[in-house]
Structure 1
Amino acid sequence: MATRPLEGIRVADFGWIYAVPHATAWLGALGADVIRIETSGAPDLVRFLTGTDGSIGANRSGIFHAINSSRRSIALNLATPEAQEIAREIIRRSDFVTENFTVGNMAKYNLAYDDLVKIKPDIIMLSGTPLGQDGPLAGSVGFGPTTQAFAGLCHITGYPDSFPCGIGGTWPDFAVGTGMVFFLLAALHYRDRTGEGQYLDLSMAEMVTTMMPEAMMDFLMNGRDQAAIGNRDESMAPHGVFPAAGDDKWIAIAIATDDEFAKLCEALGALSMASDPKFARLFARLANVEELEREIAARTRVHPRDELVAKLRARGLAAGPVYSTPELMKDPVFSRSSMLVKLKHSEVGERVVPGLPVGFGAIDLEYRGAPMIGEHTDEVLTELLGYSASEIARLKEAKVLI
């Protein structure tokens, strides 16, 4: 079996909610020893979100299982000096420290970067916050919707003449978590070349803003403020979601060239549209986009969705079904993907969760079920830190380990 690329790397993970746990799950799958430092006194909120079997409990949440795989859990009461010292001992033996608490929380427990670099000079620490560590709003509490709004994304999302919209789900947390993996590995590469660690101050809002370069560059270069345009595009038409036959069935279509538009018209049995001066050329289609969309919708709605998708794809056109979650899970291509993995959990048994959305030709990924709170406390203290059974018992009695 090939050596996993992050074997020998250890992560002291204080992250919670979505972004950091998503990042460290990927690090764990690549071989890192991720030690989740948490407490039953103030557990991760996600531990109590939607138990997928209808039963809510700290160790049962399907969402928690999905984003907290491939790690160990140690339960520490960081309000106590002894627990803080245990955390520092783990960090002394680690390469990364990750956290996404409100600004100042790690310092409250004497675990800020300035504290940690004294005991581990080459430590790499990443802090992810809505608005970074500095500035008048740095201490703000934030979640995905507020981060999207501050970043400017909601202003360009939605329909014309409507109100600003978020883009659904728990985005941008997972996009940010993916970026965190990249930044951590870049810092690790730098440390391996120079011997120097560093502090990574990540603003989630700034990262979201970098994901909307069209709006940024349009303003910076042209002084123009982009507005929401729904599913439309400034350089393609038709470009959007159109009804198909059946109850709440939809197809997404994106046409980039005049030749593609002619093929679309042929597939829809509307050859006259391809030669109509209002639609034949891209600039004309953009100028008459509302009428164009009505004409396309009138023709797509008589076709079964999947049949129309196949018909358009056979002509080399960009088209796809708008799937519900159950439909996505039943799709044979997705269901056979290596992204879905079955993991065993100590309390709930087997769960299917998403893994990395990539297939490596020479790497065997390491997936392990999400941990129960403190499931590996004794193991970490004994094997990593050398504590005796009597010392561990004393710490539990003193509520240092909870």
Structure 2
Amino acid sequence: MPPSSSAAPDALPLPFADLLVLELASVLAGPQVGQFFAELGARVLKVESPAGDVTRTWKTSAEAAETDVSAYFSCANWGKQSVVIDLTTPAGQQQVRELAATADIVLTSYKPGDAEKLGVDYDTLKHRNPELLYAHLTGYGPDTARAGYDAVLQAEAGFMHLNAAPGQEPQKMPVAMIDLLAAHQLKEGLLTALYHRARTGRGSLIRVSLLDSALASLANQAATWLVTGHDPRPMGSGHPSIVPYGTVYAAGNGRGLVLAVGADRQFRQLCAALERPEWAADPRFQTNEARVTHRATLETLLRQRIGEVDGDALLWELEKLGVPAGAVRTVGEALALGSGRAMQLPAAEGGFPGLRTVAFHSSAWPQVPALSAPPRLGEQTDELIAGKV
């Protein structure tokens, strides 16, 4: 029976408190999914080769050389246990098969065919565990044995082409966005599979590719080509069908700011805040359609006027008027805000804080507790051998 509605929320367990996740994936997309489940209560056992997840070595020049927990590794590996197993050996393969026999979820990111060579593919593992959910992340799908790398997928799926100012070279986004989009697809697939298993008692194979995840996320840019037959043009941070939206303006006090004016009413309020009410009455700018047509003229006027005012005062006035706008902040400035601090995982003793992957809240479970810090390579291997993990 479901718990009584009068039960105290803090008495309820986290939603995945009874799940065991076996993570055979590395780098970012798969481990992000692993941390997602760890944050919501699952026990996540990260199986690493003797060399470890490659991201342990991806360090900036500011990081300490003596630790094997890099900033990059820490962005996706909180709350896990690390065990070293050599999957190139029969003994290592047998160890993983035994772990998978009691697992709820196995996360993998092998090139097509590699899991079969190692004897840890879905068809092999499901015989001992019919309820197993096996998540397989690839670059280009099950029929293409080509390794998938985020930067390459950003180029091939059209993102880099669009992420450029007119006349400038294409740019990669500063985070591995395709990996993160694929991680979300993998979470959705696994949550759907968990629901299916709860109803039928059967496990399943969930496949996600970086390419499909990227293409599915092109949204209005893809629709533009599908509907009109015209390829979307690079526009920097501007928007192809809304003006003013996304362009960065430099205010008189040096503050960089962005507007996201999606309605004619908001544009009228913007004009009032800038003390230029005549712009709202100008036929060239009265409607969004007209503003798109006369984009260059309006952008010139806005750049000139915003360059004359105090950016912080303008942002305050726009907030009062309900006009979407924001300051251009650094990462550090964003994380130092109250909202940024709330998303941080507390630092373990002698360590550094982390960032949550779970950005939603639910009345069905208590606040997500603190997680253990990203594990050192093989930190729980001895315990596993002793049967304590």
Do the aligned partners of 2:261 and 2:324 also contact (CA within 8 Å) in 1? Answer: yes
Q: Distance in 2 between matches of 1:306 and 1:102?
A: 50
Judge which range, 151-160 or 109-118, deviates more: 151-160
Residue from 347, 371, 376 that aligns with 1:372: 376
Residue of structure 2 in register with 1:12 after alignment: 22
Residue of structure 1 in register with 2:248 after alignment: 241
In structure 2, the CA distance between the partners of 1:95 and 1:171, relative to structure 1 (3 Å rule), is same
1:330 aligns with 2:340: no
Residue from 336, 359, 362 that aligns with 2:361: 359
TM-score by length of 2: 0.90
* One-letter code aligned to 1:188: L
Residue of structure 2 in register with 1:399 after alignment: none
Please tell me the root mean square deviation across aligned C-alpha atoms, in Å: 2.1
Residue of structure 2 in register with 1:50 after alignment: 59
Task: Give 3-state SS (helix, strand or coil) of 2:352's partner.
Answer: strand
Q: Distance in 2 between matches of 1:277 and 1:188?
A: 55
Task: Give 3-state SS (helix, strand or coil) of 1:82's partner.
Answer: helix
Residue of structure 2 in register with 1:176 after alignment: 182
Residue from 194, 209, 213 that aligns with 1:188: 194
* One-letter code aligned to 1:83: G
In structure 2, the CA distance between the partners of 1:172 and 1:58, relative to structure 1 (3 Å rule), is farther
Report sequence identity in percent: 25
* One-letter code aligned to 1:73: S
Residue of structure 2 in register with 1:72 after alignment: 81
Q: Per-residue CA shift, 1:319-363, capped at 9, x if unaligned? A: 01111112212323423x2x1111326xxx231111122233333
In structure 2, the CA distance between the partners of 1:376 and 1:320, relative to structure 1 (3 Å rule), is same
* One-letter code aligned to 1:254: A
1:26 aligns with 2:36: yes
* One-letter code aligned to 2:86: N
Q: Distance in 2 between matches of 1:204 and 1:170?
A: 11
Q: CA deviation at 1:183?
A: 1.1
Residue of structure 2 in register with 1:350 after alignment: 351
Q: Distance in 1 between matches of 2:87 and 2:70?
A: 24
In structure 2, the CA distance between the partners of 1:274 and 1:221, relative to structure 1 (3 Å rule), is closer
Q: Distance in 2 between matches of 1:293 and 1:57?
A: 51
Q: CA deviation at 1:54?
A: 2.7
Task: Give 3-state SS (helix, strand or coil) of 2:387's partner.
Answer: helix
Structure 2 unaligned regions, length at least 5: 1-10
Do the aligned partners of 1:39 and 1:373 also contact (CA within 8 Å) in 2? Answer: no
Do the aligned partners of 1:155 and 1:228 also contact (CA within 8 Å) in 2? Answer: yes
Do the aligned partners of 2:21 and 2:107 also contact (CA within 8 Å) in 1? Answer: yes
- Mapping 1:214-229, distance limit 5 Å: 214-229=220-235
Task: Give 3-state SS (helix, strand or coil) of 1:146's partner.
Answer: helix
- Mapping 1:121-200, distance limit 5 Å: 121-134=130-143, 138-200=144-206
Q: CA deviation at 1:178?
A: 2.4
Do the aligned partners of 1:253 and 1:318 also contact (CA within 8 Å) in 2? Answer: yes
Q: Distance in 1 between matches of 2:273 and 2:21?
A: 54
* One-letter code aligned to 2:361: G
Do the aligned partners of 1:20 and 1:100 also contact (CA within 8 Å) in 2? Answer: yes
Instruction: Write out the 4+ residue segments of structure 1 that deviate beyond 6 Å after TM superposition.
Output: none
Q: Distance in 2 between matches of 1:108 and 1:56?
A: 35
Aligned residues: 375
* One-letter code aligned to 2:348: K
Structure 1 unaligned regions, length at least 5: 386-402
In structure 2, the CA distance between the partners of 1:224 and 1:195, relative to structure 1 (3 Å rule), is same
Task: Give 3-state SS (helix, strand or coil) of 1:88's partner.
Answer: helix
